[in-house]
Amino acid sequence: MVAGSSLGASSTSPKSRQPYHVFLSFRGSDTRKNFTDHLYQALTWAGIRTYRDDDEIERGDDIVLAINKAITESRLSLIVFSPNFASSSYCLDEVVKIMECKENNVHTVVPIFYNVSPSQVSEESGTYVKALRRHGNVERVDKWWKTLKKITDLGGMVLGDRHEAGFIQEIVKKVDRRLKRIKRPVPSYVIGIESHIEAINKWVAYESSDVDVAIISGVGGVGKTIIANIVFNMNIETFDVWSFLQDVDETSKHQDGLVNLQRSLVYDISKGALVDYKGIDLEHVTCNKRALVVLDNVDTWGQLFAILSKPQYLHKGSKIIITTRCKELLKKPYGGACKTFWINGLGKDHALELFSWHAFDKPNPDEGYVGYSEQVVQHCSGLPLALEVLGLCLSDKDMQLWEVAAQEPETIDGSTRIRRTLQISYDSLDERDKILFLDIACFYIGREKDSVVKMLQSKFGYRPLGIQELISRSLISIGESNRLTMHQLIRDMGREIVLLRSIQSIEDPGEQSRLWRYNDAIRVLKRDTGEIVRSLILDPPLAYEVEVEAFAKMRKLKLLHLNNVNLHGNYKGFPQSLVWLCWEGFLLQSIPGEVSLEDLVVLEMRNSKIRNVHDSAWILPNLKVLDLSHSCNLIATPDLSRFPKLERLILRCCTNLVEIHSSIGGLERLSFLDVSYCTSLSKLPLGNGDLMSLKELQMSGCPGLAERYSLDSDKMELPVRKRMRRTSSLVSGLPHFLVSISLCRCNMHAFPEDLSSLSSLKFLHLNENPLTCLPETIKSLKMLLALSLFRCDKLESLPELPSSVQSVMLFGCSSLKRITNLPHLYSETGIQVFIIAMSCGQLLEVRGIFKVEPLRDTEFYIMRAGLLGISLRLAVEPSPSSETILYNRFTWVKTSLQQPQILYEFGMWSIFFPAQCWALPSAARAEFISVDVPPKDGHNLLGLNLIIAYRNVSLVPSGLSITLEISNETKSLKWTYKPIVLGICDGPNNIMLWLSRWTFRNQVETGDRLKIGVRGDRGVEILTSGVVLDLKNELVVEGRASCAVRALCDVDISAYEVARGTYELDNSLDRQLQLLIMQAHNNPHRPDRSDRLDRSQREVFADVNAWIGQVSFMLKAVEDEASNDGSTSTTL
């Protein structure tokens, strides 16, 4: 048994053993968490390898040798003199060593004076002299004093009264000049992109036997090039050759632009040896040289192919990074594994910080400007370019301009530059796609995507693939509920294009092709103009009456949205050219017979007063979408045979609907039917062979249909199997080619056993039903992708699910205790099954993921007998009545249990105890510690044993976690572990102990050096910790516990490998969300994923993304429940 030292929070020691560019000397207590930390990040992002020591590391011979070695191997030293620098003998010894290297003509020194002046450092009356005298050793003090005087004679850089951010950038530039390095420019203020840089750096560092390609994609101005510059700076010296081709799209427009770009690429990777590349095969240029190539702002596949037609021309292990607005740039296989990094806009806090740096030269607004700043930031919607430009434009401006900017930010001078940047994507579109883009910007935002797609298929001047092209170019996106969304600034850019197309339209809205502003629409209607108007939205704040004749001249009107509008007059003047009519709150009980809309494709009449439309003579031969949802007066549908092309019928929440016309069975194209919450509906007039095209059926909240199919609560007293047989009629009476079915809130106590007629089913939604189980036959649904059991609070277990399942929603299944039949959660290609199990308060086991069970006598005997290998003296004997509070990061639930629990996860086990049961180990707190595995001497290395004492500084558990890092530096292996269950304290003065045992196989051997550290994340404070190596001859323990330990030793964690030899062991819901979002943006042409990323899987991602949008709401609900239990948020 070899005892180790104690350990603590995360260290910032460098990962690389290679020589450094810069050695950073500083006094930790003065600047570690502010100036030096910011300087270190700026140097790192500039690609300058920097050694930064940490005063919290225990000092001794080893660390002194390591520091002296780092100084010797560095080309330059930055010495940050601060008020308390001279109080540290270690800092002063570093300075002496630095000057010795300089005097040997092998080192450059740059002094930095932070909140001190050079005179305070060097003059005899200065503050440093007093600090030096306190050390007492006259000989050493004299040596230090002479060294300090020599350094101040070098000059240096003084902060003075300048802002730190600008000062740091000056330091970085000076270091670059001294080092004579090649670097890409990085702006002074880089906010909120750290996670993107970390993810891309991990991808770059991953060793591959192929040439891998990464796409950095996002809207214009989101910071793609900045991220590429930083990644390039940080990684170029790990490659043999490199090339950065800037703004490929713009350069390609010039004469011989693409030829010049290829010439630059050849020149760079040949190190200038081949100026005339004609006739030279690129493959021969890069022979045995790993290359890092960045192609910035590539717009088309043709540009990429012209510059580098075959990535395989580069040597294996090379990396290609492409920045583009077109996320589907790689429509064909290109290189090895392809990965897409999607760059989102900044969140509210980061956006305000970035804006403030540019507007006020500090991270927050001046007093009196907070409200104005927040309004401008909201307008920018997180776009870094807009935040930077508007911040600079408003810097040092008077209050009057700020008031204007807050109300009308688009009028500020810098808005033109923002619009030009965003318009680049628009200018590259096909003419038909430009029309679609402008229609979306002025009319379709917030519309259901599938309805818009029906328009594209109707030859309405659009290109069938137009939606996909706009998504690819980051001009639009698909939001919650499958609706079209657009960045606010992109929307404004599109609408400005409409306004600027005609100078007259600014004065006369009737000259505009699209009307979306209420006042403009009213002016045109009052003047009876609008001959060229294509789309019109009239959404008054109060009920408004308009004469039908006001539309008489709008013969080109195609898209009309009326809300809260009542029309008077003869409907013969109603526009007959419409292809999309949205009329919310229609006040008439029937549709006027004189309305003729033969070209109409989409009809939306939500919240209408329509009662019965059987008498209507309407024939709509081209109608594809009919939405009458929330029309509470509707009793019966019209004769649906009048709409032979109907594909989507939406009758949701028509609470008085009692009859659907029998002609529905003849709608050969109907693919979507929604009768959810039609509480008076008792039957669907479907016969065998009807609706062969129906793919999605929504029947949630229909008790009448449940009664029709023998699902009413009065008949639920039958045994479960009989109930299942009785419910089989529900399935047998449905169309056989359904892909999605929703039966939420149908009071179903059982689900049918015979599912043979649902062989095509991919999405099954059974939310909020009193189900206790599902039939075993559900595994026969071989195509099932998503299963939703939201708030099925009676559900006790899950049967074996088909291997095709990719998402299981179990939120609020409060009776569910264990999940033992799911496919594997992760695979080497990413997340395999996405599970949301929040508020499943009794869930203590998910097979293959984790298991929590009471600590039994044998297990307690193991611990007390010293199996953990840590010398602890038991202070208080734990009793069976001892209460342990656990927070489960998989379910987001806090549970109180009457005895200590043991957690099995990743082949290790952990135990959590309230600290009053134990005497805390007497160990000094440190950062990372290093432990050498000694020779065997007849012993076997059984494992690594740790004890960590901590407390949670917040009594609201959401988000609490602890991170344990273990590295085998000899074998370049690293494990980062966050336990899925965490013991928490029930009071501000209580402490928890975490005892954890790790078992290794051949990953750790004799002679290896281990580096171990622990840190508290998000509200956890680490108090003390200890670690030992267990080198007993053998594990001799009686009872079941030892078998459990052995059985969990050999766990395959390959699916958790994020880079070669680096594993992130975290099964929490947060981690699942991160992986899913990353996976959703992966390139679909990656070879090992091509069979999984079909249209259905993208639908799964869309379904899950809707859940992701609700996660914050659910988290708040969980926190509220915790608060109702008496928990309060406390800061110590």
Backbone angles phi and psi of 606, in degrees to 5:
-70, 150
Detail the DSSP E strand segments found in 210-318: 212-217, 241-245, 291-295
Q: Is 124 a catalytic residue?
A: no
Backbone angles phi and psi of 950, in degrees to 5:
-155, 170
* 151 sits in which H/E element: helix 138-152
Q: 429: which 2 tokens?
A: 């579109």
Asked if residues 1002 and 914 have their Cβ atoms less than 8 Å apart, the reply is: no
State the SS3 of 677-720: CCCCCCCCCCCCCCCCCCCEEECCCCHHHHHHCCCCHHHCCCCH
Asked if residues 580 and 605 have their Cβ atoms less than 8 Å apart, the reply is: no
Rounded to whole angstroms, the Cα distance separating 483 from 391 reads: 32
Catalytic residue, from 56, 58, 73, 94: name it: 94
Rounded to whole angstroms, the Cα distance separating 200 from 216 reads: 9
Give one DSSP letter per residue of 11-29, joined into a string: ----S--S--SEEEE--HH
* CA distances (Å), origin 1010, targets 280, 531, 1005, 1029: 49, 78, 10, 10
Q: What is the dihedral of CA 1048, 1050, 1055, 1060, to 10 degrees?
A: 130
User: Which residues neighbour 581 within 8 Å (Cβ) at sequence distance 6 or greater?
Assistant: 560, 597, 600, 602, 603, 604
* CA distances (Å), origin 649, targets 339, 458, 728, 1066: 39, 17, 26, 44
Q: Which value, in Å, is the radius of gyration of the alpha carbons in the chain?
A: 34
Rounded to whole angstroms, the Cα distance separating 252 from 297 reads: 11
Q: Which residues pair with 951 in a beta bridge?
A: 1021
Q: 904: which 2 tokens?
A: 């099995």
Amino acid at 677: Y
Backbone angles phi and psi of 756, in degrees to 5:
-65, -25
* 353 sits in which H/E element: helix 348-360
* 341 sits in which H/E element: strand 338-342
Give one DSSP letter per residue of 929-994, joined into a string: EEEEPPP-TT----EEEEEEEEEES-SS-TT-EEEEEEEETTTTEEEEE--SEEE--SSTT--EEE
Rounded to whole angstroms, the Cα distance separating 171 from 177 reads: 10
3-class DSSP state of 348: helix
User: Which residues neighbour 820 within 8 Å (Cβ) at sequence distance 6 or greater?
Assistant: 798, 845, 847
User: Which residues neighbour 803 within 8 Å (Cβ) at sequence distance 6 or greater?
Assistant: 823
* 269 sits in which H/E element: helix 257-269
Q: 760: which 2 tokens?
A: 């095509």
Amino acid at 727: T
State the SS3 of 1043-1104: HHHHHCCCCCCHHHEEECCEEEECCCHHHHHHHHHHHHCCCCCCHHHCCCCCHHHHHHHHHH
Q: 556: which 2 tokens?
A: 């080109």
**Chain length of the chain:** 1132
Rounded to whole angstroms, the Cα distance separating 1088 from 1101 reads: 18
Catalytic center residues: 94
